[in-house]
Structure 1
Amino acid sequence: MSTEYGNLPFEEAEAFFRDKVNIPTRRWDDLKKGEHARGFMIAGAMRDDMLCDFRTAIDAAIAQGTTLETFRDDFDGIVGRYGWSYNGGRGWRTRVIYDTNLRTSYAAGRYQQMTDPDLLAYCPYWRYRHGDSRHPRLMHLSWDGLVLRYDDPWWSTHYTPNGWGCTCSVEPCSQRDLARAGKDGPDQAPPIEIDPKTGAPMGIDQGWDYNVGEAAFGKQLSAATMDEWRAQGSAAWQRLTPGDFRAASRPERIPADQAKAAIGPKLTTTAEAAKTLAGIMGAAERIYTVPTGGKILVNAEALAGHIDLDRSPYLPLLPEVLEDPYEIWLSFEQHQGTNLVVLRQRLIKMVRLDKERGLLVTAQARHGLLEAWTMIPTSKLGYIGKQRYGKLLWGRE
């Protein structure tokens, strides 16, 4: 029997899945909670080409509505092509892969739809719906019909799906919907009791106590609250990926390279910075190839908006930072206000300005786009060390 997924396919679910990055892993819990919203993985699949083939099969299921049986045929072909020895029986393993990816994509897409400001103005409440499974989980069944405001903290841990094979869902509700259900207002959120064995709330499988929509798109906050978080800058982001230069057995000191480009004049406007960057790159946009073989797109206008003009003389250093960094790091980070999870790539380089001064340059990319560029005249090991964290993707010998 194939699984039904309501109105799939729809663009939000497709976009959510296609925005993921392939990450080879040995175990499902190598990625934690919201990291699954940014990374595509099949536990035990360590080859990127095999992941790409699995991804194509899942993408077809989400975008075209192909069935579980069709995915199983694709699965058999991929396993045979790569000689993959996987854990678990074929029937169980294929259903887990298929269900997990389709249900989380559907739930994330629904979240994006339900948090549209126009829809929230009319339907500010969400209702939990039990999935009517043959073997219901009693706690999931007890939540059926529960109505809470969309911004109730309960949804940050109990937004569906809430475990392996969970078929529960969430639907938007208006004030009229509440009245038809005999309610004057939203319900009281159930108390959250933590299971000491799993660390997750009771009734939720280990590792599923997160909101896939918040992780993918961020929680809606008031303008004033968002301004407070913006004021914190990088301090608003929690690092999720363990590791640093010590764990990666990298030298404590970064050697300073002689700058290949001459330092330019100080600019006075963002428009000047954008024009200068375009001149340096030879175009308003350019794709750079970094030492890992990956690509980073740089848009001169967008990047200029993130640059402190006091540091504009260092703009000519951009190409050498991207093409000849000292290290490249990758890390999951979560915004502590919105719960948004991102996967960032950070390129590190030290440039010698003169005999006594060094310049630390950090280029930060997300979704293959250069989103920020920091230039700090410093040689302080403490500050430099704080930029070298996460998983080391590449390092100069």
Structure 2
Amino acid sequence: MTVALRILQSIRPANAASFARRRVARPAPRFAEGGFRLAMQEAIDFHRQKVRLPTRGYRDLAGNAHDRAFVVAGATRDALLAGLHGAVDAAIADGITLPQFRERFDDIVARHGWTGWTGEGTEAGRAWRARVIYETNLLTAHAAGRYKQMTHPDVVKVRPFWMYRHGDRRRPANPRVQHVAWNGLVLRWDHEFWKKHYPPNGWFCSCGVRPLSQRDLTRMGKDGPDTPPPAAMRRVRDPATGDSVEVPEGIEFGWDHAPGRDWAEGVVPRELQKPLDVLPPELPRSERAQAPAAPAGRAFTADSLAPGLPPEDYAQAFLKEFGADVGKSVAWRDAAGHVVPISEELFKTASGAWKVAKRGRDTEVLKLAETLKDPDEIWVNWARDADGALYLLRSYIRWAEAERGFVMFEWAARAWRGVTAFPPDRNTYLEKERRGALLWKNTVNSE
């Protein structure tokens, strides 16, 4: 059986009569009672390629960054994240129910001594937190799998229209007004509307999308797709960075994206997508996994600064590129959608002394800022400190024909913090950092 045929057979007829029959005979599954009835390989693949990342809160990642990262707000230890990641995998692949997941959640929390998380103090709070993790991951994985299925070229040929379905998986007790208004809306699969309105469109949103053929539209009495609704927007404050951003009306902050779209369309090429495992024992160089070929070089647009300036002037030049300053730090979202703190600590030693001139980076700080703002690749990998303890490194790499940029951040205690920013003095040093999991790749400028 071809992939396209399997997908087409998995998609039920989508005319009005079939929807009516399904509502009466087979109500949509309720997450409070169990998971999805059938495992979907695309949903399993989507979940398993995610890189486990520690975060302080859900807002530390932009919505589309969750396509590549598995996070649980407040979970900062990899062993804890690994346990939760495995429990969610069992829900997606094996169909464990919410009550079963709650039992696993309680066991994982107790085993790893996780404390201080929202909902911990009461039985109702613990049940709510388990439900958030369970439903959010199942809903988005299922949506991503469906997106991958419905955008398959062979499927698009026969079912090029998508219908928005309010309450597709369960009848919500408190329907969102805009979601009800979109119910039954039919647009082409590649319409701009779906980039921000493809469900789920908020916490516990149970909306979905059904693909339609031209014959389906005819049976429903439609000559063609509908007129799209007006693109009403509202301004909200990004709780992680403080920036004012626009979000479509009817969609909660952080949900204005199509789950799985970045994964399906290759923000990171599919052949390079993989989870991040705990640091393995050191292997001989000949047995190490090789990094992909380096992207094509791009000349920097930033200028070099004059030599001999006070160190704080160089630091200030870098910081102002992000709206920060000496004595003023900011939270900034990188190209992958992750929050990164930007402060003068990037250029200071543990004792507080300036280290701007280290490795000749003082005159090149604007190029380092450009590397962070417009990288070719973002990698995440394990490393060990002097005491042998594991910690995470995130590396931002920018290629140029004659010079290379490099910015590195690490997870330390409770937050991502910058630890160094410099042009490497040896190509081998830079290549060493192109290991682990490729979190993001500039697929536009680096091809």
Unaligned ranges ≥5, structure 2: 1-29, 120-124, 238-245, 268-294, 301-333, 349-354, 361-380, 393-398, 412-419, 442-447
d(CA) in 2 for partners of 1:157, 1:327: 31
**Where does residue 286 of structure 2 map in the other structure?**
none
C-alpha distance in 1, partners of 2:86/2:48? Answer: 10
Taking structure 1 as reference, are residues 98 and 117 closer, same or farther at Cα in structure 2, changes over 3 Å only?
Answer: same
Letter in 2 for 1:42: V
> Structure 1 residues 218, 233: closer, same or farther in 2, change over 3 A?
farther
1:216 aligns with 2:314: no
Which amino acid letter does the alignment assign opposite residue 255 of structure 1? R
Partner of 1:40: 70
Task: Tell me the distance in 2 between the aligned counterparts of 1:232 and 1:359.
Answer: 17
Q: Distance in 1 between matches of 2:227 and 2:48?
A: 37
For residue 248 of structure 1, the aligned residue among 346, 351, 362 is 346
Partner of 1:107: 143
- Decide whether aligned partners of structure 1 residues 205 and 245 sit closer, same or farther in structure 2, where only a CA change above 3 A counts: closer
Following superposition, the deviation at residue 232 of structure 1 comes to: 11
Q: Which amino acid aligns with 2:166?
A: H
Query: Alpha carbons of 1:138 and 1:329: their partners in 2 closer, same or farther (altered >3 Å)?
Result: same
Secondary structure of 2:100's counterpart equals helix
Flag the 1:139–1:367 CA change in 2: closer, same or farther, 3 A. farther
- Indicate if the aligned counterparts of 2:37 and 2:95 stay in contact, CA closer than 8 A: no
Q: Which amino acid aligns with 2:251?
A: I
Match of residue 155 from structure 2: 119
Deviates more, 1:185-194 or 1:57-66: 185-194
Distance of aligned partners of 1:347 and 1:366 in 2 relative to their CA distance in 1, 3 Å threshold: farther
Contact 2:34 2:95 in 1 (8 A): no
Q: Which residue of 1 aligns with 2:129?
A: 93
> Partner letter of residue 189 of structure 1?
P
Give the whole-Å Cα distance in 1 for the aligned partners of 2:438 and 2:247.
35
- 1:148-181 alpha-carbon deviations (Å, 9 max, x no partner): 1111111111001000010001111111111111
Q: Give 1:83 shift.
A: 2.6
The SS at the match of 1:215 is helix
Residue matched to 1:156: 195
1:75 pairs with one of 101, 105, 123: 105
Give the 5 Å matches for 1:195-274.
Answer: 195-197=234-236, 199-218=246-265, 238=335, 240-241=337-338, 242=340, 248-249=346-347, 251-253=355-357, 255=359
Residue 191 of structure 1: which of 230, 235, 239 is its match? Answer: 230
1:383 corresponds in structure 2 to: none
3-state SS of 1:200 partner: strand
Quick one: which of 173, 180, 194 aligns to 2:212? 173
2:424 alignment partner in structure 1: 350
**Correspondent of 1:60 among 67, 86, 90:** 90
Q: Which runs of 5+ in 1 are unaligned?
A: 221-229, 257-287, 296-306, 312-320, 332-345, 353-357, 373-397
CA distance in 1, matches of 2:159, 2:138: 25
Q: Is this contact kept in 1: 2:39–2:95, CA < 8 A?
A: yes
Cα deviations by residue, 1:65-86 (Å, 9 ceiling, x for unpaired): 0000001001111122223232
Question: What is the letter of the counterpart of residue 368 of structure 1?
Answer: A
Per the TM alignment, residue 54 of structure 1 is displaced from its structure 2 partner at its CA by 0.8
The aligned amino acid for 1:206 is F
8 A Cα contact 2:336 2:439, kept in partner: no
TM-score, L = length of structure 1:
0.62
Q: Work out whether residues 348 and 362 of structure 1, in 8 Å CA contact, stay in contact via their aligned partners in 2.
A: no
How far does the alpha carbon of each residue in 1:113-151 deviate from its partner, in whole angstroms, 9 at most, with x for none?
111111111111111111132322121111111111111
> Does 2:55 correspond to 1:25?
yes
Over the aligned positions, Cα root-mean-square deviation in angstroms equals 4.1
TM-superposed deviation, 1:218:
2.2
Give the share of equivalent positions with the same residue, in percent: 40
Q: Is the 8 A contact 2:68 2:263 kept in 1?
A: yes
- TM superposition shift of 1:249: 3.1
Q: 1:289 to 1:50 in 2, by over 3 A?
A: closer
One-letter amino acid matched to 2:92: I
CA deviation digits over 1:264-323, x for unaligned, max 9? xxxxxxxxxxxxxxxxxxxxxxxx98668799xxxxxxxxxxx99x99xxxxxxxxx9xx
Alpha-carbon distance in structure 2 between the residues aligned to 1:330 and 1:185: 52
Counterpart CA distance in 2 for 1:13 and 1:24 is 22
Change (3 A) 1:184 1:160: same
| Matched length | 290
**Aligned-partner Cα distance in 1 for 2:57–2:436:** 24
Q: Alpha-carbon deviation of 1:196?
A: 3.2
1:247 & 1:181 partners in 2: Cα distance?
Answer: 62
Return the alpha-carbon distance in structure 1 between the equivalents of residues 58 and 440 of structure 2: 30
The letter for the 1-side match of 2:202 is G
Partner of 1:146: 185
Tell which deviates more after alignment, 143-152 or 86-95: 86-95
Partners of 1:91 and 1:150 in 2: CA distance: 37
Rounded Cα–Cα distance in structure 2 between residues aligned with 1:117 and 1:359: 41
For 1:368, the equivalent position in structure 2 comes to: 437
